[in-house]
Amino acid sequence: MNFKSVFLAVFAGTALIVAALLVNARRPAVERNEPTPALAEATGKCAECHRRETSAIVVEYEQSRHAQKGVNCLDCHHAIEGQPSVEHKGFVIARALTSKNCAQCHATEYDQFARSRHAAPSWASVNGPKDFSPDQLAFGERYHPTWVNRAPMSIGALEGASAVTSGCNACHAIGKPNADGSFGTCTNCHSRHLSSVELAREPATCGQCHMGPDHSQLEIYGESKHGALFAAQRPHMNLRADPKRLTTVDMPVPTCATCHMSGLEGMKVTHDTTERLSWFLFAPVSTKRPGYERGQTDMKELCLKCHTRPRIDEFYVRAEDVVVATNNKVKATTAVVATLRKDGFLTPQPFDESIEFDEFDLWHYYGRTAKHGAFMGGADFVQWHGNYELLRNQVAIDEEAARLRASRVAPDAGAARPAPIAPPAPTAR
Ligand code: HEC
Ligand code: HEC
Ligand code: HEC
Ligand code: HEC
Ligand code: HEC
Ligand code: HEC
Ligand code: HEC
Ligand code: HEC
C-alpha cells in the first residue's frame, strides 16, 4: 500500500467516525440509551446509575405510563409498613416488593385481586394453610370458604421440594401470602417495570400459567375462532386502549383478559377473575359456584357486546351438557377405583399404584380439557384430547381393575401393600 492510499484510508475512516458521531448526537436521548432530562429529574441517581448497571430495567421503566406520570423508582422501591429495608447507595430501599407497594396507589385493583382465586386459594392449593397469618387465613376463608384452610394436593409432597419451588409455586405464587400482610404480586401480568396493560391483554401472558394438559386454556383459545382472528388481526388492534374507555373499535375480538377482566363498553374492569364464572370446572366433579347466576349473567353481558342472545344461550346450554356428561363419566370411573381401595386391592396412600395415575389423568387432564374446551370454543379439546381419552382411560381402568381382582385375593385391611402391578398401557399425550 503506498502513502497516498494509506492517507485516503485513514481519512475515510476518520470521516466515517465523525459522521457517525454527528448522526448519533442527533438521535433522541432514548435511542442513545442516556437519560432524558425529564427522566433524570424524576428518578435522579437511581436511573443514572442503573442505566450503567442494569440498563434494560431503565429502558422498560421509561416506556411505562408511570414514567410519563412521574411515578419514580423510589415510589415503588421504598419500604412501606411491614417491609424490611436495606441501605443502598445512599438510599433506603425495601428488600423485596409485593402487591402492597402497588396497592399504595391502586387500592381498587388490589382489593379485587385479593378476593379472587388468584390470591389465597391459589397458594393454599399447593402449600396448604401453614404460610398464612391468622388474618390472611380468615380473609381468604371469608371469600372462599374451605378453599384456603385445607390440605395441599398430595402430589407436591411426593415430588419433593425442588419440584414444588421451581414448578408448582412458580405459577401458584401469584397468590402467595406476603409477610407484610398482603397477597401475591401484580407483576405476573403487568411485569415489573413496563407496568403494561397491553402486556396483560396478550393471551401469552395468561398462557405462562394457563397452558398444558391440565389447564389448556391457551391452546383452546388458539384453536378457537376468537384466537385465530386475534392472531390475524393483532396489528389492527389497540391493546393499549385506556381500560375505562375500551370499546370494540379498539378490540373487536376478545382475548383472555377481555372475557375475564375487561370493562368492555361500559362494563366494569375487574381484577377478580372469579367474578364471571359459574362452574368449578377444575374440580374432578364440577358443581355450580355459589355465585352461579351472577357469574353467568356477567359473562353473558360481555358476549352480548359482540353476539346475539339466542346464540349465546345455546352455546351455554351445549357447554353445560358437556359438564354434566363429563361428571357422569368421571363419577363412574372414580367409583371403580374407590371400590378397589375399599376392598383392599389398593393401599390407602395416593399415587403409589399406577391405576391411581390413570384415575388422576382421567379427570385432571381429560375431564377438565373437555369442559374447558366446551366453554371456550375448542372442539378438538372437547373431542380428541377430551372425550376420546376419557373413553380410553375408562377402558384401561376397568381392565386393570378386573386384572387386580382376578390375580390376587384381597389382603386384609391394614396389611402390607400388594405386590407391584404391571404398568398400564401407555397413554398418548
Ligand atoms: C451508584 C450506583 C447505584 C445507585 C445510585 C443505585 N443503585 Fe441500585 N444497584 C446498583 C448495583 C451495582 C446493584 C447490584 C447489581 C448486581 O448485583 O448485579 C444494585 C441493585 C439494586 C436492586 C436489587 C437489589 C437486590 O437485592 O436484588 C434494586 C431493587 C435497586 N438497585 C434499586 C435502586 C433504586 C430504587 C435506586 C434509587 C433509590 C438505586 N438502586 C440506586 C447500583 C446503584
Ligand atoms: C411500578 C413500580 C416500580 C417502579 C416505578 C420501579 N420499580 Fe424496580 N422493581 C419493581 C418490582 C415490583 C421489582 C421486583 C422486586 C422483587 O422481586 O422484590 C423491581 C425490581 C427491580 C430491580 C431488581 C431487578 C432484578 O431482576 O434483579 C432493580 C435493579 C430495580 N427494580 C430498579 C429500578 C429502578 C432503577 C427504577 C427507576 C428507573 C425502578 N426500579 C422503578 C417495581 C418498580
Ligand atoms: C406512587 C403511586 C403508584 C405506585 C406505587 C404504582 N403506580 Fe401504577 N400508576 C400510577 C399512576 C399515577 C398511573 C397512571 C394513571 C393514569 O394514567 O390515569 C398508573 C398506571 C398504572 C397502570 C396502567 C398503565 C397503562 O398502560 O394504562 C398499571 C397496569 C399500573 N399502574 C400497575 C402498577 C403496578 C403493578 C405497581 C406496583 C409494582 C404500581 N402500578 C405502582 C401510580 C402508581
Ligand atoms: C403466574 C401464573 C398465572 C398467570 C400469569 C395468570 N393466572 Fe390465572 N390462575 C393461576 C392459578 C394458579 C389459578 C388457580 C387458582 C386456584 O383456583 O387455586 C388461576 C385461576 C384463574 C381463573 C379461575 C378463577 C377461579 O375462580 O376459578 C381465571 C378465570 C384466570 N386464572 C384467568 C387468568 C387470566 C385472564 C390471566 C391473564 C390476564 C391469568 N389468569 C394469568 C395462575 C395464573
Ligand atoms: C404452569 C403453571 C402451573 C404449575 C406448574 C402448577 N399449576 Fe396448579 N394450577 C395452575 C392453573 C392455571 C390452575 C387453574 C386451573 C383452572 O382453573 O382451570 C391450577 C389449578 C390447580 C389446582 C386446582 C385449584 C384449587 O385451588 O384447588 C390445584 C389443587 C393445583 N393447581 C395444584 C398444583 C400442584 C400441587 C402443582 C405442582 C405439583 C401445580 N398445581 C403446578 C397452574 C399451575
Ligand atoms: C391476572 C393478570 C393480572 C394481575 C395479576 C393484575 N392485573 Fe392489573 N390488569 C390486568 C388486565 C388484563 C388489565 C386491563 C383490563 C382491560 O382490558 O381493560 C389490567 C389493568 C390494570 C390497571 C388499569 C386499570 C384502569 O382502570 O385504568 C391497573 C392500575 C392495574 N391493572 C393494576 C394492578 C395491580 C395493582 C395489581 C396487583 C394487585 C394487578 N393489576 C394485578 C391484568 C392483571
Ligand atoms: C370468549 C370469552 C373467553 C375467552 C376469550 C377466554 N375465556 Fe376463559 N372462560 C370463558 C367462559 C365462558 C368460561 C366458563 C365460565 C363458567 O364457569 O360459567 C371460562 C372458563 C375459564 C377458566 C376456568 C375456571 C375453572 O372453573 O376451571 C379459566 C382458568 C379460564 N377461562 C382462563 C382463560 C384464559 C387463560 C384464556 C386465554 C388463553 C381464556 N380463558 C379465554 C370465556 C372465555
Ligand atoms: C369483543 C367481541 C367478542 C366478544 C366479547 C365475544 N366474541 Fe365470540 N366472536 C367474536 C367474533 C368477531 C367472532 C367471529 C365471527 C365471524 O366468524 O365472523 C366470534 C365467534 C364466536 C363463535 C364462533 C361462531 C361460529 O359460528 O364459528 C362462538 C361460538 C363465540 N364467538 C362465542 C362467544 C361467547 C360464548 C362469548 C362470551 C363468553 C363471546 N363469543 C364473546 C367476537 C366476540
With 0-12 / 13-18 / 19 or more C-beta atoms within 10 angstroms meaning exposed / middle / buried, residue 207 is middle
CA of 299 to the centre of ligand 7 (A): 10
User: Which one of the ligands is nearest to 89 CA?
Assistant: 1
Cβ(117) to ligand 4 under 6 A? yes
For residue 421, is pLDDT > 90? no
- Amino acid 208: pLDDT: 98
Pocket of ligand 1 (CB under 6 A): 45-46, 49-50, 53, 73-74, 77, 88-89, 91, 93
Q: Which residue is closest in CA terms to ligand 4's atom 26?
A: 274
pLDDT, tens digit, for every residue of 307-326? 999 999 999 999 999 999 99
For residue 130, is pLDDT > 90? yes
Which pLDDT band, with edges at 50, 70 and 90, does 423 fall under? very low
Q: Which residue is closest in CA terms to ligand 8's atom 37?
A: 303
Q: Which residue is closest in CA terms to ligand 2's atom 12?
A: 192
Chain-centroid distance, C-alpha 216: 11
User: Which one of the ligands is nearest to 373 CA?
Assistant: 7
- Amino acid 411: pLDDT: 58
- Cell reading at 412: 386384609
Chain-centroid distance, C-alpha 185: 12
Other Cβ atoms closer than 10 A to 229: 13
- Amino acid 266: pLDDT: 92
Atom nearest to 76 CA in ligand 1: 35
Fill in the amino acid letter for 405.
Answer: R
Which of 195-209, 274-288, 395-409 is predicted least confidently?
A: 395-409
What's the CATH fold of domain 274-429? Hydroxylamine Oxidoreductase; Chain A, domain 2 (1.20.850)
Per-domain residue ranges of the chain: 20-77, 80-195, 274-429
User: Which one of the ligands is nearest to 247 CA?
Assistant: 8
Q: Which residue is closest in CA terms to ligand 3's atom 13?
A: 66
Pocket of ligand 8 (CB under 6 A): 225-226, 229, 248, 251-254, 258-259, 299, 302-303, 305-307, 312, 315, 377
Among candidate residues 113, 140, 116, the one with its CA nearest the CA of residue 291: 116
Atom nearest to 203 CA in ligand 4: 37
Rounded to whole angstroms, the Cα distance separating 276 from 262 reads 11
CA of 102 to the centre of ligand 7 (A): 26
Other Cβ atoms closer than 10 A to 391: 12
- Amino acid 428: pLDDT: 37
CA of 53 to the centre of ligand 2 (A): 13
Chain-centroid distance, C-alpha 82: 27
Average pLDDT over residues 416-429: 44
- Which of 109, 199, 273 has most ligand 4 atoms within 8 Å of CB, for mutation? 273
Q: What percent of the chain has pLDDT over 70?
A: 85
Locus of grid cell 428518578: 43
Rounded to whole angstroms, the Cα distance separating 360 from 354 reads 10
- Amino acid 39: pLDDT: 55
Which pLDDT band, with edges at 50, 70 and 90, does 45 fall under? confident
Average pLDDT over residues 197-210: 98
Asked if 202 and 262 count as a contact pair (C-beta separation under 8 A), the reply is no
**pTM over cut 0.95:** no
- Cell reading at 302: 360481555
CA of 363 to the centre of ligand 4 (A): 19
pLDDT, tens digit, for every residue of 211-240? 999 999 999 999 999 999 999 999 999 999
State how far the alpha carbon of 264 is from the alpha carbons of 197, 202, 224, 244, 245, in Å.
14, 16, 20, 8, 8
